[in-house]
């Protein structure tokens, strides 16, 4: 044999930290124990057990996406694969697409449409702002696109498109299909697919759902599904062809070997959401994020986005002058075992508030770690004032009704 066994390979235990780091960045996020346990199981990808799991995943997804009749499909792949599945199935090459762009991820949707050979118009929203419905309407009137793409929460720069509902309604008046990327927001804040008239909603496992990376979901509206069924051209993406995926998700047959462990994990993530209920979950996310924001500001830090456009699911924080984001992150990680995220451009750091990140004990630890690290690096932040504001704001909200009931 020409290629020999590699030297210097050590067991994972020698690489991973003894105690897992607290993952408080923009994803992946910590997973509940039941999700982790489900992810360790392998079952047959076809057959009765799997089909029962799939039926439940679809039923629970319809609740989480808030759609009675939406077509739910799973994807073996990152959130980006789900984005590409929505785009590839709804965008016909040569057709017109309007992409509302707030940052990195909404830009990715435009790029995907472009690669499919669509005629893409980019509505670049002013920095630090949510998209305005009037401006989107102006573009719709002018360009008459068949498909509109938009993010609910732009994780990259922590902008929230707060007028999404109005934008989706207007797009419908222009007979335009609406694709919404809700990777970081689904189940962390309201999104009502049917009531808001959205045609495709995308989510990934590792953010709002507090599941593992590598398994994602797409929901298509009835209108979107009619459009897909009526297409006569052959899709360029074989793996992402919704009609082929339908064979597995609705006809108990083979498309590709499903990521069985990932599907079991997402089953558990969805089940925990159903037990908690969306109302309580939204309340928990809001309470935790607002308390974190109050803590950060009381410490003397500046948040990156004004409240009118601010995302709660991921909080962006300006790094004080004289400190470099990278240096701050590595200090926090090494000294306090807390991981938060940097950014793709601006000198900001980001703290996630998705799923298991929204627990008060995680907030105290994270705020303390951030504040103490900043102090160690020479910044004059008031850590006790921050922690006091965190506590006071958490207390202002009523506690949600007990912790999720455990199912026997």
Ligand X SMILES: *Cc1c(COP(=O)(O)O)cnc(C)c1O
In the complex with ligand X, which residue's Cβ is closer, 179 or 228? 179
Binding mask 321-340 for ligand X (x = CB under 6 A): --------------------
Instruction: Tell me 215's DSSP state.
Output: E
207 binds ligand X (CB under 6 A): yes
CA–CA distance, 217 with 256 (Å, rounded to integer): 16
Q: How far is the CB of 154 from ligand X (least distance, A)?
A: 6
Compute the least distance from the CB of residue 113 to ligand X, in Å.
Answer: 14
* Residues in 288-307 at the binding interface with ligand X, rule: CB under 6 A: none
| Minimum separation from the CB atom of position 145 to ligand X (A) | 20
* Identified binder of ligand X from the candidate list 61, 71, 80, 99, rule CB under 6 A: 80
Rounded to 5°, the CA angle 27-196-105 comes to 30
Instruction: Output b/e per residue, 17-41; b: 16+ Cβ within 10 A.
Output: eeeebbbbbbbbbbbbebbeebbee
* Touching ligand X, residues 176-205 (CB under 6 A): 181, 183-184, 204
Closest to ligand X by CB, 32 vs 352, is 352
Handedness of CA 205, 211, 215, 219 (dihedral sign): negative
Residue whose CB is less far from ligand X, 239 or 388: 239
**Interface residues for ligand X in 20-59 (CB under 6 A)?**
27
- Please give the size of the binding site for ligand X, defined by CB under 6 A: 14
- State the Cα–Cα distance between residues 264 and 42, nearest whole angstrom: 9
Helix, coil or strand: residue 23 = strand
**Nearest approach, Cβ of 202 to ligand X (angstroms)?**
7
Over the window 81 to 120, marking each residue x when it contacts ligand X by CB under 6 A and - when it does not, the resulting string is ------------------------x---------------
Binders of ligand X in range 143-162 (CB under 6 A): 151, 153, 155
Distance CA 160, CA 163 (A): 9
Cβ of residue 290: shortest distance to ligand X, in angstroms?
20
The closest residue (CB) to ligand X is 79
Q: Is 253 exposed, middle or buried (0-12, 13-18, 19+ CB in 10 A)?
A: exposed
Nearer to ligand X, 204 or 404 (CB): 204
* Selection from 295, 239, 267 nearest residue 56 by Cα: 267
Positive or negative torsion for Cα 57, 63, 64, 66: positive
Residue among 56 and 165 whose Cβ is closer to ligand X = 165
| Closer by beta carbon to ligand X, 184 or else 296 | 184
124: part of which helix (H) or strand (E)? Answer: strand 119-124
Smaller CB distance to ligand X: residue 78 or 190?
Answer: 78
Smallest distance from ligand X to CB 304, Å: 16
Q: Please, what is the minimum distance in Å from the beta carbon of residue 123 to ligand X?
A: 17
Least Cβ distance, residue 195 to ligand X (angstroms):
21
The rounded distance, in Å, linking the Cα atoms of 337 and 330 is: 9
Nearer to ligand X, 136 or 186 (CB): 186
**Beta carbons within 8 Å of 381's beta carbon, 6+ residues apart:** 299, 300, 301, 320, 371, 374, 375
Residue 368, helix vs strand vs coil: helix
Backbone angles phi, psi at 177, to 5 degrees: -75, 140
Nearest approach, Cβ of residue 56 and ligand X (Å):
23
Sites of contact with ligand X (CB under 6 A) = 27, 78-80, 105, 151, 153, 155, 181, 183-184, 204, 207, 213
């Amino acid at each position: 044999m020409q290629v020999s066994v590699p030297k210097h390979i050590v067991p994972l235990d020698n690489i991973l930290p003894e105690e897992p780091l607290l993952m408080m960045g923009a994803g992946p996020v910590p997973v509940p124990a039941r999700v982790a346990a489900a992810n360790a199981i392998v079952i047959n990808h076809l057959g009765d057990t799997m089909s029962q799991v799939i039926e439940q995943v679809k039923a629970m997804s319809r609740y989480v996406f808030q759609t009675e009749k939406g077509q739910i499909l799973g994807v073996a792949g990152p959130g980006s694969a789900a984005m590409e599945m929505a785009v590839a199935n709804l965008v016909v090459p040569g057709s017109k697409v309007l992409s509302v762009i707030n940052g990195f991820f909404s830009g990715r949707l435009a790029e995907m449409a472009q690669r499919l050979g669509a005629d893409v118009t980019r509505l670049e929203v002013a920095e630090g702002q949510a998209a305005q419905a009037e401006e989107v309407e102006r573009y719709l009137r002018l360009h008459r696109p068949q498909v509109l793409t938009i993010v609910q929460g732009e994780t990259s720069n922590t902008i929230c498109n707060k007028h999404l509902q109005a934008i989706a309604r207007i797009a419908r008046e222009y007979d335009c299909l609406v694709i919404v990327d809700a990777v970081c927001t689904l189940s962390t804040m309201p999104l009502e697919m049917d009531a808001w008239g959205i045609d495709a909603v995308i989510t990934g496992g590792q953010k709002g759902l507090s599941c593992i990376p590598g398994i994602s979901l797409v929901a298509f509206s009835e209108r979107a599904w009619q459009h897909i069924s009526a297409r006569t051209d052959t899709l360029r993406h074989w793996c992402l062809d919704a009609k082929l995926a339908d064979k597995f998700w609705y006809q108990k047959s083979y498309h590709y070997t499903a990521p069985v462990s990932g599907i079991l994990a997402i089953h558990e993530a969805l089940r925990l959401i159903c037990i908690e209920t969306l109302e309580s979950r939204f309340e928990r996310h809001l309470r935790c994020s607002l308390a974190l924001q109050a803590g950060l500001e009381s410490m003397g830090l500046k948040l990156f986005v004004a409240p009118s456009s601010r995302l709660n699911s991921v909080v962006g924080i300006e790094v004080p002058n004289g400190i470099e984001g990278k240096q701050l992150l590595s200090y926090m990680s090494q000294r306090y075992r807390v991981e938060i995220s940097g950014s793709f451009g601006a000198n900001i750091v980001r703290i996630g508030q998705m799923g298991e990140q929204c627990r008060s004990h995680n907030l105290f630890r994270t705020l303390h770690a951030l504040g103490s690290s900043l102090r160690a690096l020479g910044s004059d932040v008031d850590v006790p004032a921050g922690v006091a504001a965190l506590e006071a704001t958490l207390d202002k909200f009523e506690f949600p009704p007990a912790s999720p009931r455990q199912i026997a």
